[in-house]
Amino acid sequence: MISQLIFAIVFIGAIVLFTINARRIIRNIKLGRKENRSDKPSERLRTMMLVALGQKKMFKRPIPALLHLCVYLGFVIINIEMLEIVIDGLVGSHRLFSGLGSLYNFLIAAFEWLAFAVLLGCIIFLIRRNIIHVRRFFGVEMTSWPKTDANLILIMEILLMSAFLLMNAADHKLQLSGAEHYTLAGSFPVSSFLLNILPDNIDSLIILERSAWWFHIIGVLAFLNYLVVSKHLHIILAFPNTYFSNLNPKGKFPLMDSVTTEVKAMMDPSFTPPPASEEPVRFGSKDAMDLSWKSLLDAYTCTECGRCTSVCPANITGKLLSPRKIMMDTRDRITEVGKNIDINGKFELDDKTLLDSYVSREEIWACTTCNACVEACPVNIDPLKIIMELRQYAIMEESQAPAPINVMFGNIENNGAPWKYSQSDRANWSKQTNN
């Protein structure tokens, strides 16, 4: 009973802590402005199934995609066994579902092979990060914590899978030894290879099996709570983020309602503008709260894989822009805003904004708007949307733009085109001259 009570306290405490942290993140996402992403539900569901569940975009790089699929599916499916472990922990039973017979044997065997695949995949990922040094895992934004975060999560998964296989091995040997409470159940194609290195003493085996059991369950609960403070929150958020993807063609930029209203009022004297909003009208975005909730969801979904930055032509040519950094900065800023609200009860001005305090002007103007980052992202994150809104604010609210942009604006105003030539001279290049 003491063991069951301790387990219940640990389990409930972990779920409560996860709920508190998850609600805080949801609150932070809702700080963004409203944006309608509820249209075309069938197309959205299809996108989510293909991109998030099927990992369609990952397979543009087949080898890491296959490894990621093994780790992802393995870890998720293995944790189905958590249902049995939780019930066993609460009621004091052992392998409660063993009555399923051959189906149970098949499931345990499948879980073991998946655990081995996760173990192997995580080891290879650690080697790629720390020995091979794949280029896209590095950059100015990848400071010590992002690198440590990635390694910690891989090490945690390795330890959890090792504990799972060790628990099964000890359990299997106890079953073969005829130990009380350990009835014959399950099939152990992987962990059976560990039998020879385990002690023969039954008491030692029980201690080993129970230790591995407790380590596995507490590790999974700790992993659950670590998700909400790490980049691996994408395990959960990839599904809603892909469901609410932008379904328009990537080259189509959204219209700004505030600008559309003003233009209609200028062009049509009979146009009746919509009722004024209580919120002040702002063109573009200066801070994280000015972005839409979807952009903030993008930021929390980002797994810092660097695929966006690795294909960015600006970054490749040595410019300061990194789409991954844009997402990391947005997440850091809205998290800071959330902490401000937690401390003060409401947001108090802190002399910081996303533009300038986190993202520099040089970064946003280095973007070529080619959409390569959007195309490359495995979970349909859109850094370009944030960049364009920061640009809009700089131009339309502050009238600040690089000199070449201002020259272009002047040419459009005077000549009706981005070039310096007047409209009457525009076709001169086609005239043939006789020498």
The backbone region for 377, taken as left when phi is positive above 0, alpha when psi lies in -120 to 50, beta otherwise, is beta
Residue with tokens 């969801």: 297
What pLDDT score was predicted for residue 128?
94
What pLDDT score was predicted for residue 339?
96
Buried b (16+ CB within 10 A) or exposed e, 388-403: bbbbbbbbeeeeebee
The DSSP line for 217-285 is HHHHHHHHHHHTTSGGGHHHHHHHHHHT---S-TTPPPPPHHHHHHHHHHH-TT--PPPPPSSPP-SS-
H helix intervals, 140-201? 144-177
> Hey, what are 146's tokens?
């992002």
For 306, the 3-state DSSP assignment is: coil
**275 residue type, one letter:** P
User: Closest Cα partner for 21 from 209, 198, 226, 217?
Assistant: 226
Please answer whether residues 401 and 394 qualify as being in contact, where contact means their C-beta atoms are separated by less than 8 angstroms. Answer: yes
What pLDDT score was predicted for residue 260?
84
Fold exhibited by the domain 284-415: Fumarate Reductase Iron-sulfur Protein; Chain B, domain 2 (1.10.1060)
Please answer whether residues 3 and 92 qualify as being in contact, where contact means their C-beta atoms are separated by less than 8 angstroms. Answer: yes
360: exposed, middle or buried (C-beta count within 10 Å: 0-12, 13-18, 19+)? middle
Local confidence pLDDT in tens for the 435 residues of the chain? 788 899 999 999 999 999 999 999 999 999 999 999 999 999 999 999 999 999 999 998 898 899 898 888 887 787 778 888 888 888 888 888 888 889 989 999 999 999 999 999 999 999 999 999 999 999 999 999 999 999 999 999 999 999 999 999 999 999 988 888 888 888 999 999 999 999 989 999 999 999 999 999 999 999 999 989 898 899 999 999 999 999 999 888 888 877 888 888 888 888 888 777 666 667 899 999 999 999 999 999 999 999 999 999 999 999 999 999 999 999 999 999 999 999 999 999 999 999 999 999 999 999 999 999 999 999 999 999 999 999 999 999 999 999 999 999 999 888 888 888 888 887 887 876 554
What pLDDT score was predicted for residue 52?
92
Return d(Cα 369, Cα 299) in angstroms, integer.
Answer: 19
The pTM (predicted TM-score) of the whole model is 0.90
Query: Which residues lie across from 355 on neighbouring strands?
Result: 359
Return d(Cα 372, Cα 137) in angstroms, integer.
Answer: 18
What pLDDT score was predicted for residue 121?
93
The domain locations on the chain are: 2-30+61-243, 284-415
